[in-house]
Amino acid sequence: MNTSDHPYLFILLLGLSAVAFALIPLGLAWLWAKKYSPKKENAIKNATYECGLESKGDAWIQFKSEYYLYAIIFLIFDVETIFLLPFAVSFTGLGVGAFISLMVFLFLLVSGLAWAWLKGVLTWK
Amino acid sequence: MIESVNNWLNGLSPAQSLLLFTSIKAVVCFAIMMTMFAYTVVLERRLCAWIQDRIGPNRVGPFGLLQPAADGIKAFFKEEMTPAHVRKVFFTLAPMIALIPAVLNLAVIPFGSTLGKQHMVLADLNVGILYTFGIVSLGVYSIVLAGYASNSKFPFLGGIRSSAQLISYEIAMGMSVIPIFLFVGDLNLNSVIKAQTGTQLGFLPNWFVIQSPMTFLAFCIFLVAAFAETNRTPFDLPEAEQELAGGYNIEYSSIKFAMFFMGEYCNMILVSAMMVTLFFGGWTLPWFGLDHAATTLLGGVLHIGIFLGKVFLFLVMFVWIRWMWPRFRYDQLMDLGWRRFIPLALANILVTAIWLWWQSGK
Amino acid sequence: MEEILFYIFAFLTLIFGALVVANPFSRNPVTSAMFLVLTIISMAGLFVLLHAFFLAAVQVLVYAGAVMVLFLFVIMLLDLKEEERRKVKKLSLVAGLISIGAIVGIFVKSLLATQPVKDLPAPMHDGATIPLGKLLFTNYLLPFEIVSLLLLVAMVGVILLSKKDLK
C-alpha cells in the first residue's frame, strides 16, 4: 500500500470513530431510559413548543424565497472560491497571462456581485 | 520496564507503529478537546457571572471545577424526551451530525512540532485547508435537519435562518484566507506555519496577523466569519431568545441537547485552532528558537503547550465578546456578510495578487 | 487493501444512489436528499483512491456542502406533505424503466467494446493542488474563463427568474 494514502485511510477510520462517538452516548442514554426511567408522557409534554400558546395549523410555513436566492448565490461563489485556491498556490510560478486571466475572472465575479447589489437582491427586506 | 517497552516499540513494523502512534495521538487529541470543551463552559459561566457581578457556579468541587461532570451526568440521566410530533430519524440524526464534523476537523490541525519521532498532526493532508472547509460545510446539515425534524414552527424558522447565515459567512471565510495562500503557495497547514517563522523588525513575530496589511485584513474577516460560523454573539441568531425562543434546538432536551451544545463548543475550539494556525504562527513562538521543530522531548511538549495556550486565549476572547456585545438583527447580519465582508475579501485578494506580482517583477 | 476499499466505496455509492430514488421506507424528499449527500461522500472516497485528493475535497465542499444545501432549501420551500402522498404514475414508471434500460444498454455496449488497458500511465501529479493550478492557468485557460462567464450567467439568470419585482 502506498504511504501517501495513510493519512486518508486514517481519516476514514477517524470518520467511523466519530460516528461511533456520536452514537454511543445516544445509545447508552436510550438503554438507560428504557431500563430505569420509562417515558412518562402526557399531552402537554408532547405538545409543540410555542411558549405556552396552542399550536395552530401545520408546522410547515412558507418562508421567504430570498433564502433560496442567497443559497444559489452562495453556491456560485463557493465554486469561484474553489477556483481561486489552486490559483493562489500556484501563483508564484505563473506569468502575466495567468495574472490577467485571474483579473478577468475576478472582474466577472465582482460584476455579478455588483449587479445583484444594484438590483437590490442583497438587501434583506 | 522502560527498556522492554522500548524494545517492543522498536520491534514493530512501520505500519504497526504508525497505527499505534496515530491512535494514541487521536485519543489524546480528542481527550484534550473534550477537556477544553468542559472547561470552556465553566469559564464561560464563571466569566459571565463575574461580568454581571454574580458568583456563578461554585458549589461542585473547588471553585466549581467539577461542574462539567455534574452537567454531563445530569444531561445523561434526564428523561429522554422525544416529542410525539417530531420526525424521529432526523430528530436523532441532527445532534449526531453536529458532533461528527467537530471530531473530523481535529485531524488536520498541527498542534505541535515533533515529540520524539512523531509529527504532532493526525493527518498531514496536502489539501489541508480545503478538507477543513469541506467538513465545516457539512455542519450546516445538523441545523437544517434539526429545524426540519422538530416539525414545529420556531425550530423550522430558526433552522432556515441559521443555515442561511452559515452559508453566507462560509463564503466570507473561504475568500478571506486566499491572500494567505497567495503568500504561502501551498494548501498544507504545516507550510502555513513554516511561512510564519522568524521575526520582523528584529523582535516582532512574523505571524500573518501582522505580516502585512492584507493579511491583517484577512484575519479580521476570518475572525468575524468565525464568530458567525460558530453561532456566537453577536451572530447568535439561531438562539435568538426573544424571537425564536431558542431556535433550531428548542424541541431538544437531555442528551440530544447536550450533543448540540458540545458540537457548538467543539467548533469554537476548532475555529480558534484554525485561527492560531493560519494567523498566529501555530505552535511557534519567534523567540528563543521556538520556531523550529523540537529536537528534545521537552521542546515538543513546550510546543504543544504554546499551541494550547494560544487557543485558550482565543477561547477567552470568544467568551468575553459574548457578554460584551448585543446581537445583530437578521437583515444587518446578511447585509454585513454580503455587502461588506465579501466585497472586502474580494478586494483583498485583488490587492494581494497585484502586490505579489509587482514584488516578483522587481 | 486499495481494492477492498474500492469495492466498499463503489458498493456504498451504488446502494446510497439507489436509495435516493427508490427508498422502500420513506418517500420523503429530505431523506432522498440526505442519501444523495452520502452518495457524494462515498464518491469522494473513490476519488481519494484514485489519488485525486483535490477533486475529493472539492466534491465534498461543493456538492455535499453547497449543492445539497440548495436542494434542501428548495425542498423546504415546497410543501412536502403533498410530495409524500403522491402516487407513482404508471406511465412515468414505464417511461422511466424504458429509459433506464436504454442507458444500461448503451453502457454495456460501450463497456464491451473497450479493451482493458494493460499499462496505465502513472498519475501525473498525484492530485496535488499546485500543478493543478498551473495546468488550469496555462493549458486550460479558455475553459476556465468560460466557466466563470457561465457562473455569471447562471447567477443573473436565477435572479431574473426568481425575483419579479426587480428595480
Cell of C47: 476519488
Name chain B contacts of A8, Cβ cutoff 8 Å: 123, 125
Q: Is C20 within a domain?
A: yes
Size of interface A-C (CB pairs under 8 A): 137
- Domain that includes residue B111, residue range: 22-359
Name chain A contacts of B124, Cβ cutoff 8 Å: 7
Distance CA B244, CA C99 (A): 47
Q: How many domains, in total, are found in chain A? A: 1
CA atoms within a 13 Å half-sphere pointing along the CA-CB vector of B333: 28
C166 reaches A (C-beta below 8 A): yes
Q: List the alpha helices (DSSP H) in A1-125.
A: 6-36, 43-46, 66-89, 96-118
C139 reaches A (C-beta below 8 A): no
Chains with 3 or more CB pairs under 8 A to chain B: A, C
Mean pLDDT of chain C, nearest integer: 83
Distance CA B72, CA B257 (A): 11
Res A1: pLDDT: 40
Q: Is A112 within a domain?
A: yes
Using CA coordinates, name the residue in chain B closest to C66. B137
Q: What is the mean pLDDT of residues B271-275?
A: 92
B125 reaches C (C-beta below 8 A): yes
User: Is B176 within 8 Å of B343 (Cβ atoms)?
Assistant: no
Using CA coordinates, name the residue in chain C closest to B171. C66
What ipTM did this prediction achieve?
Answer: 0.85
Name chain B contacts of A18, Cβ cutoff 8 Å: 99-100, 103-104
Q: Which of B130, B185, A102, B352 is nearest to C137 (CA)?
A: A102
Distance CA B166, CA B98 (A): 13
Size of interface A-B (CB pairs under 8 A): 189
Q: Is A39 within a domain?
A: no
Sequence length of chain A is 125
Q: How far is B336 from chain A (nearest CA, A)?
A: 10
Examine the pLDDT at C12 and tell me if it is beyond 90.
yes
Q: Which pLDDT band holds residue C127 (cuts at 50, 70, 90)? A: low
Q: Which pLDDT band holds residue B217 (cuts at 50, 70, 90)? A: very high
Angle (CA) A22-A24-A25 rounded to 5° is 85
Q: Is B109 within a domain?
A: yes
28-57 of C, contacting B, C-beta below 8 A = 28, 30-31, 34, 37, 53-54, 56-57
Distance CA B61, CA B68 (A): 10
Res B249: pLDDT: 78
pLDDT single digits (tens) C75-95: 887 766 666 666 777 888 899
Q: Which pLDDT band holds residue C122 (cuts at 50, 70, 90)? A: low
Sorted by sequence, the CB contacts under 8 Å of residue C133 that are 6+ apart come out as A85, A86, A87, A88, A89, A90, A91, A94
Q: How far is B106 from chain A (nearest CA, A)?
A: 9
Q: Is A38 within a domain?
A: no
Distance CA B102, CA B269 (A): 9
Res A2: pLDDT: 46
Res B312: pLDDT: 92
Q: How many CB atoms lie within 10 A of CB B52?
A: 9
Name chain A contacts of B331, Cβ cutoff 8 Å: 123-125
pLDDT single digits (tens) B223-244: 999 998 888 878 877 666 666 6
Q: Is A47 within a domain?
A: no
Distance CA C115, CA C98 (A): 28
User: A32 or C85: whose pLDDT is higher?
Assistant: A32
pLDDT single digits (tens) B160-192: 888 888 888 889 999 999 999 888 888 888 888
Q: What is the mean pLDDT of residues C1-9?
A: 86
Q: How many domains, in total, are found in chain C? A: 1
Distance CA A76, CA B339 (A): 16
Name chain A contacts of B334, Cβ cutoff 8 Å: 70, 122, 124
Sorted by sequence, the CB contacts under 8 Å of residue B189 that are 6+ apart come out as B108, B109, B110, B121, B128, B129, B277, B278, B282
Name chain B contacts of C128, Cβ cutoff 8 Å: 126
Q: What is the mean pLDDT of residues B331-341?
A: 86
Res B90: pLDDT: 87
Three-class DSSP category at B174: helix
Q: Is B184 within a domain?
A: yes
Name chain A contacts of B344, Cβ cutoff 8 Å: none
Chains with 3 or more CB pairs under 8 A to chain A: B, C
Q: Is A33 within a domain?
A: no
83-122 of C, contacting B, C-beta below 8 A = none
CATH number of domain containing C40 = 1.20.120.1200
Examine the pLDDT at C125 and tell me if it is beyond 60.
no
User: HEC string of B118-168?
Assistant: EECCCCCCCCHHHHHHHHHHHCHHHHHHHHHHHCCHHHHHHHHHHHHHHHH
Size of interface B-C (CB pairs under 8 A): 66
Q: Is A70 within a domain?
A: yes
Res B275: pLDDT: 92
Q: Is A20 within a domain?
A: no
Q: Is C118 within a domain?
A: no
Q: What is the mean pLDDT of residues B202-227?
A: 88
CA B148, B144, B154, C77 dihedral sign is negative
Mean pLDDT of chain B, nearest integer: 84
Distance CA B208, CA B203 (A): 15
- Domain that includes residue A114, residue range: 65-119
Distances (CA, A) of C112 to B123, C3, C108, C117: 41, 22, 6, 13
pLDDT single digits (tens) C137-147: 778 888 888 88
Angle (CA) A19-A23-A27 rounded to 5° is 165
Q: Is C138 within a domain?
A: yes
Q: What is the mean pLDDT of residues C96-125?
A: 81
Q: Running DSSP on this structure, what letter comes out for residue C27?
A: -
Q: How far is A120 from chain B (nearest CA, A)?
A: 11
Model confidence, pTM: 0.89
Three-class DSSP category at B204: strand
Q: Is C116 within a domain?
A: no
Q: Which of B42, B29, B64 is nearest to B316 (CA)?
A: B42
By mean pLDDT, which of B94-103, B286-295, C118-127 is the weakest?
C118-127
Distances (CA, A) of B281 to B194, B210, B266, B305, B315: 8, 11, 21, 13, 17
Q: Is A94 within a domain?
A: yes
Cell of B186: 501551498
List residues bridging with B281 in a β-sheet. Answer: none
Q: How many domains, in total, are found in chain B? A: 1
Cell of B99: 458532533
- Domain that includes residue C68, residue range: 2-111+125-161
Q: Which of B222, B227, B236 is nearest to B172 (CA)?
A: B222
Please report, rounded to a whole number, the percentage of residues in chain A having pLDDT higher than 70.
82
pLDDT single digits (tens) C149-158: 888 888 888 8
Examine the pLDDT at B359 and tell me if it is beyond 60.
yes
Res B58: pLDDT: 82
Please report, rounded to a whole number, the percentage of residues in chain B having pLDDT higher than 90.
11
Q: Is B12 within a domain?
A: no
